Amino acid sequence: MTSPFTLEGKRALVTGANTGIGQAIAEGLAEIGAHVVAAGRSSCDETVTRIKDAGGSAEAMHLDLADPKAAVARLSEAGDLDILVNNAGIIRRADSVDYSEADWDDVMDVNLKAVFLMCQAFGKAALARGQGGRIVNIASLLSFQGGIRVPAYTASKHGVAGLTKILANEWAGQGVNVNAVAPGYIATNNTEALRNDPKRSAEILARIPAGRWGEAADIAGAVTFLCTPAANYVTGAVLNVDGGWLAR
């Protein structure tokens, strides 16, 4: 019997795969058989090396989502894709009264506009082939909450959750499943400022029932599951992986 937890023969593209959550997702997909295109603005060579050293298959691709249209124009270079993971994202912090239009535009371009355009391009190709596909978008706890001093990030991640649902509604009947994973507080570059603030870090840990910051591998496990046949009937979901934060 074929395991429902395999991606043998599948081709996956992961954005922001050079480090952190994206790197862990790329490794997780490769571990169960996918050929991974590790894409990022920075070099993904380390990710590719790690995958190959572990016996997997991968290649690197330079993709700068700060220019969404240019990035999508190059998507065909990745070949026919079965899986798209929109992980790349940026964050800019400032009080809302001081938040600049430039920061707003930069965050929204990478975190929402690029996600939509990547999904759109992937969806067109997948629907034309008629063989289905999987999209997993990386959302956030701030897809559900307001946060503090991150207005553009919060708006973009609310948008990712909504976009995930509408695309699932439109494409599920044609075999393209669209889901999102909403990480909680994960030990990555994006949360470094919070972890370096003793007061804020203590406040965050006190709220997490699991009692720890999440690891990138925690998110990779959830994403990998959503890409496998085991999740064939899961679509339009925003799965929070947060150590219990939202349950508290």
Tokens 């991606």 belong to: 7
* Entry pTM: 0.96
Helices (H) and strands (E) in the chain, counts: 9, 7
* Spatial distance between the Cα atoms of 57 and 72, rounded to a whole number of angstroms: 23
By the 8 A CB rule, do 178 and 129 touch?
Answer: no
Query: Confidence band (pLDDT; 50, 70, 90) for 1?
Result: low
- The pLDDT mean for the chain works out to 96
Q: Which helix (H) or strand (E) holds 53?
A: helix 45-53
* Predicted confidence (pLDDT) per residue in 210-248, tens digit: 999 999 999 999 999 999 999 999 999 999 999 999 999
* Predicted confidence (pLDDT) per residue in 162-220, tens digit: 999 999 999 999 999 999 999 999 998 878 888 999 999 999 999 999 999 999 999 99
By the 8 A CB rule, do 150 and 200 touch?
Answer: no
* Predicted confidence (pLDDT) per residue in 27-82, tens digit: 999 999 999 999 999 999 999 999 999 999 999 999 999 999 999 999 999 999 99
99, 153, 185, 233: which one is catalytic?
153
Q: Answer positive or negative: Cα dihedral of 166, 170, 173, 178.
A: negative
- CATH 3.40.50.720 describes domain 11-239: yes
Q: Which two tokens stand for residue 193?
A: 């400022």
By the 8 A CB rule, do 95 and 149 touch?
Answer: yes
Strands annotated E in 41-159: 57-62, 83-86, 133-138
What's 75's DSSP letter?
Answer: G
pLDDT of residue 208: 97
Question: What does the CA dihedral 92, 96, 97, 100 come to, rounded to 10 degrees?
Answer: 30
Q: 211's torsion region: left (phi>0), alpha (psi -120 to 50) or beta?
A: left
* Spatial distance between the Cα atoms of 148 and 150, rounded to a whole number of angstroms: 6
In 3D space, the residue among 42, 144, 124, 50 whose CA is nearest the CA of residue 84 turns out to be 124
Domain extents in the chain: 11-239
Beta bridge partners of 13: 37, 84
By the 8 A CB rule, do 143 and 157 touch?
Answer: yes
153 part of the active site:
yes
